Amino acid sequence: MIEKKVPVVTQPQQIKILTETFSEIVDVEAMNQLTSGLYASSSLLALTKDWNMFVEFCQNKNVRVLPASTTAVRLYIEKVSQERKYASVKRYVITISLIHRVLSYPDPTQNSRVQTALGSIRVTKHGDHRSTTAFTVEHLNQLDSILEKSRAVKDWRDLAIYYVMYEGLLKRHELRDLTFEQLHIDNEYISMFIGSEEITFSQRASFALFRWLKVRGCSGKFVFTAIDRHENIGLQPLNDSSIYRILRNASDLLGLGYHFSGQSLRVGATQELARQGVNIREIQQAGRWLSPAMPYQYIGNKGQAELEKLRFVSFKFID
């Protein structure tokens, strides 16, 4: 995401109104208005998600969101760095900085303590971008064997999530935002629509999803929702932290010495498709990538991946 020269809000009354708005969870439209329509839709989605994560953190800590204290920002980036890569943490800092500057507040991210913490995270996380652990079909089969016999509703949901993410090559936000309207159910199989693409799940995946949907019911909008400790099923979608814990639990169940990330299932599914002989353009379409760069990277062809990145960037910035 490239920073833009967004016009700064200077009218006190407007600053007050926007401060109240952005001290709560906001939608993409609110972010688009604040940033004067200068960002592409994908960047707006990232900005909105990143800002809402910070808002959620401040609310949980009962501290002010705007203007944020340097202590709150420092504690936030130290917390998210436990789960996220340095590039993600850096992006979160840029988002916090942007919102403060647009609303004419002092930028808390420029404080020396925040910068020192960020520098420490960069050193600690050095090299964390090199590879993502693949979630393989073998992992999926092992989890099926473990969880299919469970009587816990949470386990049924989680197994369905593993299947849906793997066979659909879903991004985390695609899973989070998946609605009943995107599903088509017949007697044996379930299909899922992501945009104009239809994905038909395997028999095992369909069974796992059928079982979850039977206890989930059709109330609300979202397919995958939270479950409390008493096994009460909510109606709100899972948040990113919940999905992270579900993926982490997969590696714990398998007794692995490493943890899966939000990209692990896409990496593993990409490698499996390549192993089956599916060509890179078809894999790109299946995973809904704008260029074949990431599929090439996931299958280990780093040279071709870098070449495709250069081609994509050159095309994207042609006037």
Same domain, 115 and 152: no
Each residue's pLDDT tens digit, 263-274: 899 999 999 999
Q: Averaged over 159-174, what is the pLDDT?
A: 94
Query: For residue 307, what pLDDT is reported?
Result: 66
* pLDDT over 50 (residue 208): yes
CATH number at residue 250: 1.10.443.10
Indicate the pLDDT class of residue 319, thresholds 50, 70 and 90.
very low
Alpha carbon distance 78, 73 (integer Å): 9
12, 31, 48 from 260: Cα distances, Å? 46, 31, 25
pTM, 2 dp: 0.60
The answer to whether residue 164 sits within a structural domain is yes
Tell me the chain's radius of gyration from C-alpha atoms: 21
Q: Does 64 share its domain with 95?
A: yes
User: pLDDT tens digit string along 66-108?
Assistant: 999 999 999 998 888 887 888 888 889 999 999 999 999 999 9
Domain final residue pick, 79, 101, 124: 124
Asked if 212 contacts 200 with a C-beta cutoff of 8 angstroms, the reply is no
Average pLDDT over residues 197-205: 93
pLDDT at 7: 87
Q: 176 and 104, same structural domain? A: no
Cα(282)–Cα(19) distance, integer angstroms: 45
Phi, psi of 85 (to 5 degrees): -75, 160
Q: What CA–CA distance (Å, rounded) separates 318 from 286?
A: 27
Smallest Cα–Cα separation from 148: which of 191, 202, 200, 210?
A: 210
Examine the domain organization and report whether 16 and 83 are in the same domain: yes
Distance separating alpha carbons of residues 310 and 306, to the nearest angstrom? 6
Q: Are residues 119 and 149 in the same domain?
A: no
| Residue 93 in domain | yes
> What would the 3-class secondary structure string for the chain be?
CCCCCCCCCCCHHHHHHHHHHCCCCCCHHHHHHHCCCCCCHHHHHHHHHHHHHHHHHHHHHCCCCCCCCHHHHHHHHHHHCCCCCHHHHHHHHHHHHHHHHHCCCCCHHHCHHHHHHHHHHHHHCCCCCCCCCCCCHHHHHHHHHHHCCCCCHHHHHHHHHHHHHHHHCCCHHHHHCCEHHHEEECCCCEEEEECCEEEECCHHHHHHHHHHHHHHCCCCCECCEEECCCCCEEEEECCHHHHHHHHHHHHHHCCCCCCCCCCHHHHHHHHHHHHCCCCHHHHHHHHCCCCCHHHHHHCCCHHHHHHHHHHHHHHHCCC
Using the predicted structure, report yes or no on whether residue 305 has a pLDDT greater than 80: no
User: Domain end: 124, 159, 181, which one?
Assistant: 124
Q: For residue range 109-122, list pLDDT tens digits in order.
A: 998 888 888 888 77
Same domain for 271 and 142? yes
Residues 223 and 245 in one domain: yes
Does residue 226 share a domain with residue 97?
no
- Same-domain pairing of 188 and 241: yes
**pLDDT bucket at 40, cuts 50 / 70 / 90:** confident
Contact by Cβ (8 Å): 51, 95: yes
Q: Can you read off the two tokens belonging to residue 84? A: 């996220």
Q: For 132-144, how does the pLDDT look when each residue is reduced to its tens digit (9 = 90+)?
A: 789 999 999 999 9
Quick check: is 6 in a domain?
Answer: no
What is the domain-level CATH number for residue 25?
Answer: 1.10.150.130
| Residue 97 covered by a domain | yes
| Residue 25 placed within a domain | yes
Question: Under a CB-based contact definition with an 8 Å cutoff, are residues 1 and 8 in contact?
Answer: no
Contact 223, 180 (CB under 8 A): yes
* Joined tokens for residue 68: 């944020």
Residue 5 in domain: no
Query: In which residue are the tokens 């001290």 written?
Result: 23
Does 224 share its domain with 248? yes
Asked if residue 227 has pLDDT above 50, the reply is yes
pLDDT of 314 over the 60 cut: no
Check residue 254 and give its pLDDT.
93
Task: Identify the band that residue 315 occupies on the pLDDT scale cut at 50, 70 and 90.
Answer: very low
Containing structural domain, residue 106: 12-124
277/152 same-domain check? yes
Average pLDDT, the chain: 87
User: What is the Cα 33 distance to its own chain's centre?
Assistant: 23
In a domain, 318, yes or no: no
Domains in the chain, number: 2
Whether the pLDDT of residue 31 is over 80: the answer is yes
Residue 96 domain flag: yes
* The domain boundary residue, chosen from 100, 124, 148: 124
Do 142 and 68 share a structural domain? no
